[in-house]
A and B are shown apart, each in its own frame.
Chain A
Amino acid sequence: MTKVRRRYHFGLPSVLYLGATLLVGIGASNAATNNLLFLVFGLAVGALVVSGLISGTMMMGIRVKRVLPDAASAGRPTSVAYEITNKNKLMPLFGLRVEEAVRVGRRSKGARPTWPTMMSPAGGPVLHVGRGETVRVRCVVTPHRRGCATFDALRVSSGFPFGILRKSVTFSMRDSLDVYPRLLRLRREIASSLLSQGTYGATTVDEKGSGDEFYGLREYQAGDSLRRIAWKSTARTGNVVVREHTRESGGRIWIMLNIDPRDDSREIESAISIGASLAVDALQIGSEVGLIAPAQGLVCPINSGSKHRLALLSALARLDPSAGPERAVDGAEAGRMVSRAACVVIHSGDLDPSVAPAHARHVVAADAPRLAVDDREDQGLEPATNEHAEAPR
């Protein structure tokens, strides 16, 4: 059952208003000849009560739902949606603000949510929700670091009608969102040189493509290159036929993260970003990719496909550089695993060739700017906006 906490917030406007009302009341009580001050005082008190009454009644039937994307990437905008339902049959909702809250209450137990450390506050305004209606507000947030963003509570508040009192309803709503490492746009030549390591891991795929190995023959079709005509077969069969070739595979590649928790955290994150970017690029060209971070005990066996891509990114998102040595993979074992395929080792600190076989290529985190084509994502963190409000359903 969702835990709900309702409360009134007394801010500066409340204090000012109450102070002024009190002053008028005292002045009125002391005045022997001016009844009008009593009227002003009465109106001030009336407005205060109406403010509490309307905002209190308004917030009674409110329900919210957070709709998170499957995953997000650090440095890339992602949208978070909130569905607000007004179950109240009498009172419409006005002037709402939906926002992520850290806790439902001070006494809430459990770990603190991690989203404040990873992204700017999400939320947005809602003008109106009619009786029995549901509206969806979508806001765009840009996580500025990878990790697992956990959400604990969602707060809906409103200063409506007069802004004197602010009423809020906080819903306990636990959720999580994997934020993948920042993906860099790697320079093609560097990526190619890192990923193609001669015979290590080179394979072909039993599919038509533009590789060197023969795949089969077929009839000539308009547009086919004359160079691909198989003249002998044409002469033998009497029909013009052309050669077809197999597609080249990207090969098998291990991406090894040599991360030392003692290194600078920015370098560590940079190393993870390079690893993630290489993995994504490699998978994109059809390679089979495996991921290993021996010191942190992370091993993702070699595989390909979109599911594997998500698995790799998810593993990198949750990678804890300071994971204890008890989980560490033995160095020799790691060397044997990566020896049968191409290998790129990314070092968070100084280059250490001894951690990988001789054929491995090495990259240090400090090289990230040299590797990336246009690292616009590094230019700064975008604040949360809600430019893509959705219409109510």
Chain B
Amino acid sequence: MKIHSRFLNSYHLVVALGVLVFAVADENMVYVALAIASIVAARVLASGPNPLFVPRWGLNLVVVLVTVGMGLSWTGNPEDAIPTISRYLVWLQLVKLFERPRPRDQAMTIIMSVMLVVGSSLTSVSAEFGLALLLYIPTLIVTLMLFQLYLGQVDDHGTVRHVVVSGRRPGADMRWLVLGAVVLTFGLSVPVFVAMPRGIGSDSTALGRFAGRPKGNATTGFRDHVQLGSSGLITESTRVVLEMRVTAEPDPHLASGKHYLRGAVLDIYNAEQGRWQAAGHGRNARDEMVQGGASGHRNMGPGEVLGELPRGTTTRLTQEISIHAETVPSLFTVWRPKTIALESERRARVWYDSYRGTFTPVISARSADYRRYTVVSTPYGQDSGREYNQRGWMLRSWSENSRGVSDHVRNRVSQAIDWIAVLRQKDIISLQEFNKFAPAWVHQSEAPDDPTRGANPFIEGPIQELAEQIIADRRIPLDESTRTHEAAARAFETYLQDNYLYTTTMVAPRAGQDPIEMFLFDQELGGRGHCEYFASAVAAMCMSVGIPARVITGYVASEIDAAGQYIVRENHAHAWAEVEVSPGRWVVLDPSPQQDIERLHSGGGSWLAGIRKVFDVFQLAWIRSVVTFDRDEALQSANQNRVMLLTAVNNWVGERLLNETDNGATADRDSIGAAARSFLSIVLVSTLLTSLAYVVVSYGTRAIKPLLGLGAGDDSLKELSPKTRTLMEIHDKMLHVLHKAGLIRQASVPALAFGGQLAERDGVLSEDAQRLTSLYYAARYGREDVDDADLDMARGLLDGIRERLSELESIEPSPPLA
């Protein structure tokens, strides 16, 4: 077992992986390249008969320079203490690679590597970081174990004493021990991870205050505004943002297919800034009139359901959403949300915007309260109890006022409303006349304008001209009283899809140029854009001809996992438009070329997609079990499922010692708690990684060497006959068999002399080995021809050696040769 070289390999690997962990956390892979280059350079310099090391004073000088650099960096950005210290540690480690290796310095470097990784854990929680960490930990364990063995072979100055007092097969024992140590370490970390109490203090008192907010889990794909005109490439991260389970009633098919998850409703466009944003929140009459409920803050207790479904609602979509982001910028919903229930044990506040149909978290305590919620939505314009006419009049909602009215009467009234609507449509009856004789709970009123809506910036200009031209080309009547808004909007949508290209590369407009006009009309820069440009353009065109429209940002959910859940990633972030085709009835317009979107979301080629799916499994497990792990919930789940030993002990104590009866013993014992399942997956992944590393280390070198032509540099072997080569293989087998039995030939001992040494162990064994080796010598070096009889004899001798070894093994364990 070559401890010295193995330790150095492992030591360099742990340094490289430590830097990799930091680079992943810092999102700067330059450090990895630097580390690899430094390690290679250090190894090259240290190899050979005259190894080169940087003198002590030189190293001290570099360390001083690095320290000064870090000090300056820290002074410039005192908030980033941990990243600055981490960078400092990286440089120190790389510098120390070039000094004469001494155990003390190597121990310091390993400690620095560990500190670097701990520091990095404060700055990132991404799955990539988790993967790097899972690679690092087993390597660190192996390195520490080898270091302990290495310490026994070198003195304080790193000089190898060349003393190896060892039993048989230390390598095999070491491999099993390493495997056990890795699995045990990960296994024991699980209960500690689960049992540790959370949230005793706040981030302001934790280590994290020096590191800023951890990277890697923010929803960078979604924004609550649209800023057009920025140049650069959009990040196409495949990080999972949320999972969603959808059920629909009464038609289950409505739950399948593509869903638009609304996050922010943007109805004001600032042409100067090229920015879409939401109008300010405000209670207004239109909210109450059109949507049947006022906007405002709502306090929600645990298990409480906010809002209610209008009576008579037939079609509903229930969404169970689990957000994996650290912060929850919006409560994403499909269709128009009517009720919401947060899965939180605390009271939480939600802003309900009835006009836009959005729920927004009011994050005063922690985002964790908003990470899981259930929403019930209804389709646009299908709220029971409301009907609208072409003039923007509506029947006042009667659902709230008709309590006590029988279903029979309600149906009759509904029919009457339909009939009145027809009369109203034909202007046979006026609003005032209708209200004279209609009961109070079916009175009509005119929907007021939305006071939050800003001025229409598209009322004049090239966009309006284009929109009118499109309408004219499609022969859609321009007269506001007769045309249909939806037909016009669909015409704009089709026009954009047919004439514009989708790209994720953002281009900056010219100075003073409106980004939407650039997209629509600029010959050089325009003609292409991403979803925000398409959505902005269709909204602008609609608004230019008087059709109310707004831009929506959120996600498109179309990817379904094996469990039937929607998986939403950052690159699923999308922008589209909603157009009010009749008062209160908004339709979705998505003018972005769908095939391009789907290609973008598919993730590329098949093998890449396969790799991504594998990574997804890990990513989901990582997010569920580590990043968004909720101890209280996991313990509750475990308690419900009776999977924890603690619960079993608790029950036993209660039943046997306290004579209590367990009324909840009927809980499902077959299911495994979510937390336990997730942790199991983490342990499984780490075990698999360790096993993989074990296989690579054990057999990889042996398999790769011939491929690289290493170890086969003797050209004379190529000239040997096949039978001679067979004889050589038999001889190699003999050495292998003897090696396995603990009779190891030292490199300095010739094969024949080794055969003689075997006499110390057994005469027969020695004689057979020497005879076989003589055959080998004659063929290999004496160039004597090998015939079948020689091969038979060699095989017979090998069998004899095997038998003899087993006989000896049964008598007493075989000691290795001195």
Partners in one complex: yes
Q: Which residues of A contact B (CB under 8 A)?
A: 16, 20, 23-25, 27-43, 45-47, 49-50, 53-54, 86, 91-97, 124-133, 135-137, 158-163, 386-387, 389-393
A391 touches B626 (CB 8 A): no
Most buried by A among B122, B141, B196: B196
Known: A129-B167, A137-B165. A391 touches B145 (CB 8 A): no
Known: A162-B145, A390-B818, A391-B818. A132 touches B153 (CB 8 A): no
Residues of A within 8 A of B115 (CB): 20
Residues of A within 8 A of B141 (CB): 47, 161-162
In the complex, residue of chain A having the shortest beta-carbon distance to the beta carbon of B149: A95
Residues of B within 8 A of A50 (CB): 181, 184-185, 188
B145 touches A161 (CB 8 A): yes
Most buried by B among A32, A91, A392: A32
Contact indicator per residue, chain B 162-194, by CB within 8 Å of chain A (1) or not (0): 011111111001100100110011111111110
6 contacts between A and B (CB under 8 A): A24-B207, A32-B203, A35-B627, A136-B165, A161-B145, A392-B168
B189 touches A39 (CB 8 A): yes
In the complex, residue of chain A having the shortest beta-carbon distance to the beta carbon of B326: A33
Within 8 A of A (CB), among B109-168: 111, 115, 117-118, 121-122, 124-125, 129-130, 133, 137, 141, 144-145, 147-149, 151-153, 161, 163-168
The 6 closest A-B pairs by CB, nearest first: A125-B152, A42-B189, A30-B201, A46-B188, A27-B207, A130-B167
Complex Cα distance, B130 from A126, in Å, reads 37
A130 touches B192 (CB 8 A): no
Cβ-neighbour of A40 out of B121, B191, B198, B201 (below 8 A): B121
Most buried by A among B187, B193, B203, B627: B193
Complex Cα distance, B155 from A124, in Å, reads 12
B144 touches A125 (CB 8 A): no
Most buried by A among B137, B147, B167: B167
B379 at the interface (CB under 8 A from A): no
Complex Cα distance, B163 from A128, in Å, reads 12
Cβ-neighbour of A392 out of B133, B188, B816 (below 8 A): B816
Known: A27-B206, A32-B198. A393 touches B177 (CB 8 A): no
Complex Cα distance, B152 from A4, in Å, reads 24
Cβ-neighbour of A162 out of B148, B205, B366, B628 (below 8 A): B148
A130 touches B165 (CB 8 A): no
Residues of B within 8 A of A137 (CB): 165
Cβ-neighbour of A127 out of B1, B111, B199 (below 8 A): B1
Complex Cα distance, B208 from A91, in Å, reads 41
B817 at the interface (CB under 8 A from A): yes
A130 touches B170 (CB 8 A): yes
Known: A34-B208, A38-B196. A128 touches B626 (CB 8 A): no
In the complex, residue of chain A having the shortest beta-carbon distance to the beta carbon of B129: A36
Residues of A within 8 A of B451 (CB): none
Cβ-neighbour of B170 out of A43, A128, A136 (below 8 A): A128
Within 8 A of A (CB), among B778-818: 813, 815-818
B193 touches A38 (CB 8 A): yes
Complex Cα distance, B814 from A133, in Å, reads 10
Known: A38-B196, A126-B165. A97 touches B152 (CB 8 A): yes
**Dominant SS at the B interface?**
helix
Known: A31-B203, A35-B627, A127-B170. A95 touches B181 (CB 8 A): no
Cβ-neighbour of B186 out of A40, A43, A387 (below 8 A): A43
B368 to A: closest C-beta gap in Å = 8
Known: A27-B207, A95-B149. A127 touches B187 (CB 8 A): no
A42 touches B167 (CB 8 A): no
B66 at the interface (CB under 8 A from A): no
B816 to A: closest C-beta gap in Å = 6
B198 touches A392 (CB 8 A): no
Complex Cα distance, B136 from A39, in Å, reads 14
B173 touches A130 (CB 8 A): yes
Complex Cα distance, B111 from A76, in Å, reads 43
In the complex, residue of chain B having the shortest beta-carbon distance to the beta carbon of A125: B152
Residues of A within 8 A of B193 (CB): 38-39, 41-42
Residues of B within 8 A of A128 (CB): 1, 149, 166-167, 170, 173-174
Complex Cα distance, B181 from A50, in Å, reads 7
Known: A29-B197, A42-B189, A125-B165. A35 touches B148 (CB 8 A): no
Complex Cα distance, B165 from A137, in Å, reads 6
Residues of B within 8 A of A390 (CB): 165, 818
Residues of B within 8 A of A94 (CB): 145, 148-149, 170, 173-174, 177
A391 touches B816 (CB 8 A): yes
B813 touches A133 (CB 8 A): yes
In the complex, residue of chain A having the shortest beta-carbon distance to the beta carbon of B195: A42
A162 touches B177 (CB 8 A): no
B121 touches A127 (CB 8 A): no
B74 at the interface (CB under 8 A from A): no
Cβ-neighbour of B628 out of A20, A35, A129, A387 (below 8 A): A35
Complex Cα distance, B209 from A32, in Å, reads 11
Complex Cα distance, B368 from A32, in Å, reads 10
Residues of B within 8 A of A163 (CB): 107, 144, 147-148, 151
In the complex, besides A45-B189, A127-B170, A162-B144, 11 extra interface pairs with C-beta distance below 8 angstroms are: A32-B203, A34-B203, A37-B208, A38-B196, A39-B121, A47-B185, A125-B152, A161-B177, A386-B161, A387-B163, A392-B815
Known: A33-B208, A125-B165. A92 touches B177 (CB 8 A): yes
Residues of B within 8 A of A49 (CB): 184, 188
B53 to A: closest C-beta gap in Å = 25
Complex Cα distance, B148 from A130, in Å, reads 17
Residues of B within 8 A of A25 (CB): 196
Residues of B within 8 A of A160 (CB): 145, 148-149
A46 touches B184 (CB 8 A): yes
Complex Cα distance, B118 from A186, in Å, reads 67
Residues of B within 8 A of A34 (CB): 121-122, 125, 203, 206, 208, 214
Cβ-neighbour of B203 out of A24, A33, A158, A393 (below 8 A): A33
B87 at the interface (CB under 8 A from A): no
A161 touches B181 (CB 8 A): yes
Complex Cα distance, B107 from A23, in Å, reads 20
B207 touches A159 (CB 8 A): no
Complex Cα distance, B521 from A329, in Å, reads 128
A42 touches B207 (CB 8 A): no
Complex Cα distance, B629 from A49, in Å, reads 24
B3 at the interface (CB under 8 A from A): yes
In the complex, residue of chain B having the shortest beta-carbon distance to the beta carbon of A46: B188
Known: A125-B163, A132-B813. A33 touches B174 (CB 8 A): no
